[in-house]
Chain A
């Protein structure tokens, strides 16, 4: 079974600075999808960014980018120019190509200091 590991329970960043959240996963599959979701205090799950495993190019969405290392099974999220509104729980998630369900990491709580 696939597992997703987020080794940083909490992270803190100064407003306007950059922070990187770590995620590793374990799988024997070659085709899959990786995601980062944000969960603010409202508990709504918000998709931040996704990456298809067959794509070598790292996904980027405005201030959010990933460092996808397929061989190392690593999928870190970089948040540039951090804003107060970025404060939330961040979950890394894995979904195989053939299955529908999604497996989540334990989450990283990000605090943004003004």
Chain B
């Protein structure tokens, strides 16, 4: 089946630094990838939709200058949390689909802790 790899699984960074999270589709081409954020004991909230070769579409309330998304190839999308603050600490999950109308395949998520 389709596999999505997300790296790193855990990261701790200091306040003010930037962190990059990678999302790769290992055995399929993903023209569209999605980035979600999940707070403890809460649901997944869509942050942005990443389309290969074009700018990401951000959900209302998500700062595009803070959460930089790059989808430079059909198998890789990156989320960079810039100038991280403790309130950015959360669980970030990416997902991708291979063909239209197929279910989303999720990465294993990244737990970000900003100290």
Residues of A within 8 A of B (CB): 33, 35, 37, 42-45, 47, 50, 91, 95, 97, 100-107
Contacts of B44 in A (CB 8 A): 45, 91, 104
Beta-carbon contacts of B10-38 to A below 8 Å, as 1s and 0s?
Answer: 00000000000000000000001010001
B32, B44, B49, B106: residue with the most chain A Cβ atoms closer than 10 Å: B44
Q: Report whether A45 and B43 are in contact in the complex, using a CB–CB cutoff of 8 Å.
A: no
Contacts of B97 in A (CB 8 A): 100
Q: Report whether B108 and A44 are in contact in the complex, using a CB–CB cutoff of 8 Å.
A: yes
Q: How far is the CB of B111 from chain A (nearest CB, A)?
A: 8
Q: Report whether A47 and B103 are in contact in the complex, using a CB–CB cutoff of 8 Å.
A: yes
> Is B46 located at the chain interface by the 8 A CB criterion?
yes
Query: Of B42, B46, B103, which one neighbours A50 at CB under 8 angstroms?
Result: B103
Q: Report whether B106 and A44 are in contact in the complex, using a CB–CB cutoff of 8 Å.
A: yes
Tell me the nearest residue of chain B to A95, going by C-beta: B104
Contact A103-B34, Cβ < 8 Å, known A33-B101, A43-B91, A45-B93: no
Q: Report whether A97 and B43 are in contact in the complex, using a CB–CB cutoff of 8 Å.
A: no
Query: Of B42, B46, B111, which one neighbours A101 at CB under 8 angstroms?
Result: B46
Contacts of A43 in B (CB 8 A): 38, 91, 93, 108-109, 111
A37, A45, A106: residue with the most chain B Cβ atoms closer than 10 Å: A45
> Is B95 located at the chain interface by the 8 A CB criterion?
yes
Q: Report whether B32 and A44 are in contact in the complex, using a CB–CB cutoff of 8 Å.
A: no
Q: How far is the CA of A103 from the CA of B34 in the complex (A)?
A: 11
Contact A107-B106, Cβ < 8 Å, known A100-B34, A102-B34: no
In the complex, besides A43-B38, A95-B104, A100-B34, 20 extra interface pairs with C-beta distance below 8 angstroms are A35-B103, A42-B108, A43-B91, A43-B93, A43-B109, A43-B111, A44-B106, A45-B44, A45-B93, A45-B95, A47-B104, A91-B44, A97-B101, A100-B32, A101-B34, A102-B104, A104-B43, A106-B42, A106-B43, A107-B42
Q: How far is the CA of A107 from the CA of B44 in the complex (A)?
A: 9
